[in-house]
Amino acid sequence: MKNKKTDKRRVVVTGLGVVSSIGIGFEEFWKNLILGKSGISKIEAFDTSEYPIHMGGEVKNLVIDKFIDKRILSHFGRTSRFAVTAAKIAIQSANLNKNDLGLSSVLLGTTLGESSIIEEMNAILAKNDHQGIIVEKIPMYPSNNISLNVALEFKSKSYNFMFPTACAAGNYSIGYAYDLIAYENAQVVLAGGAEAFSRTAFTGFNRLYAMASEKCQPFDKNRKGMMLGEGAGVLVLESLEHAQKRSAKIYAEVLGYGLSCDAHHMTQPSEEGIAKCIEKAIKESGILKEDVDYISAHGTGTPQNDKAECAAFRKVFGEKAKTIPTSSIKSMLGHTMGAASAIEAVACCLSIRDNILPPTINFETADEDCDVDCVPNKSRRVKNVKIVLNNASAFGGNNACVIFKSFEL
């Protein structure tokens, strides 16, 4: 959708919202993140007794009626509840008024949408209890309802779109939001991703033998796999002019993004595809490779992903890849799939704000194939975090990278 306009507008982040297993709201989330707190616990969302894995990054402390009217809660699936809550927190932090919200767009990403709705129906049908189906729940299943519910909650009347690009979907939504503001006429966009625990995803990753039983250890030589997580992350993006006009607080600037769909393999990541994506983001952002101060890695903790991602970093940055701080917050949250890169984008903005790098916890043994500075086990305060690269990949070779910068006039 990009055109060749020369009057590209600057895009800034003015609001942050998070629902996660380590905190509701971006300040609580950030406090626990830099403390290295793990959100992994025994799963209660569904029965895991027949599975070999029983742990995950489940959201257990969300008092939902603080954020959503009880009268409409029954119309929202769990993923929509996360998305609306994160959006409400982001909007509050941005101090948007009703007129701004009415003109805003809503762009979100997910992997499986409201899969728990269809799973509930399947369980009923498996018992041959056709009368037990609650027909009112059927329209709640399509994933586009997630962004629709956010738009309806805030009476947003502009663009409304749902990206189904799985674990890179949050970055896809931020990239599209960037385009709408930089090249089109959008002034305010809510962008992010949301995902709730899914028995379908849990079963699939178990069958792929891609999950660790107790902890996620990105970049560790003895890493066993990912942990499944859930949550939502939403950012308020605005044109600089609009943000300045209303004297909004600016957390960071979005410089640009890169995408690649390498279609290398259904599940195995491609070093080449990831590298091309990062290089596109750097080129569009108009920065030098040497300018990157911190990388928020995809870092799932699976043997193949971490190896391929680190190889891609070496391909792009050369020897400097060993010295750029590169951490994975999935070590604390688990893999929140469609919400992952959106939540990580929030962490990137807060790293810029506070000049603190979140750690990769559970790191024990260095791996020659993952020779990056993973900020092991403890957060790191640094002099200046100016440019941050947020990297994400997904099954099927969907890669997305967004670059944030500290705001300067």
3-state SS, one letter per residue, for 9-33:
CCEEEEEEEEEECCEECHHHHHHHH
How do residues 336-355 score in pLDDT, each as one tens digit? 999 999 999 999 999 999 99
User: Pick the catalytic residue: 298, 310, 370, 374?
Assistant: 298
CATH architecture designation of domain 256-405 = 3-Layer(aba) Sandwich (3.40)
Please give the sequence-ordered ranges of beta strands (E in DSSP) within 70-201, or none if there are none. 105-109, 160-163, 188-195
Mean pLDDT of all residues in 381-396: 95
Q: Is 401 a catalytic residue?
A: no
174, 403 contact by CB (below 8 A): no
pLDDT of res. 1: 39
269, 306 contact by CB (below 8 A): no
For 312, the 3-state DSSP assignment is helix
Q: What's the one-letter identity of residue 282?
A: I
Please give the sequence-ordered ranges of beta strands (E in DSSP) within 339-397, or none if there are none. 356-357, 380-381, 387-394
Model-wide pTM > 0.85:
yes
CATH class of residue range 11-245:
alpha beta
User: Pick the catalytic residue: 167, 277, 349, 401?
Assistant: 167
CB neighbour list of residue 95: distance below 8 Å, 6 or more residues apart: 15, 246, 248, 249
In whole angstroms, what is the distance from residue 309 CA to residue 393 CA? 9
Q: Is 130 a catalytic residue?
A: no
Helix 78-94 to helix 144-154 angle, to the nearest 10 degrees? Answer: 40
Pair of tokens at residue 104? 């805003």
Pair of tokens at residue 86? 């994160």
**Strand pairing class (105-109; 188-195):** parallel
User: Pick the catalytic residue: 277, 335, 348, 349?
Assistant: 335
**Domain boundaries along the sequence of the chain:** 11-245, 256-405
pLDDT of res. 4: 46
- Confirm whether 11-245 and 256-405 share one CATH topology: yes
How do residues 251-271 score in pLDDT, each as one tens digit? 999 999 999 998 887 778 889
Q: Is 298 a catalytic residue?
A: yes
The mean predicted confidence, pLDDT, of the chain is 93
Confidence of residue 66 (pLDDT cuts 50, 70, 90): confident
Residue 2 reports pLDDT greater than 50: no
- Map tokens 């080129």 to a residue: 283
pLDDT of res. 61: 87
Residue 391 reports pLDDT greater than 60: yes
How do residues 131-178 score in pLDDT, each as one tens digit? 777 767 777 777 889 999 999 999 998 999 999 999 999 999 999 999
pLDDT of res. 6: 57
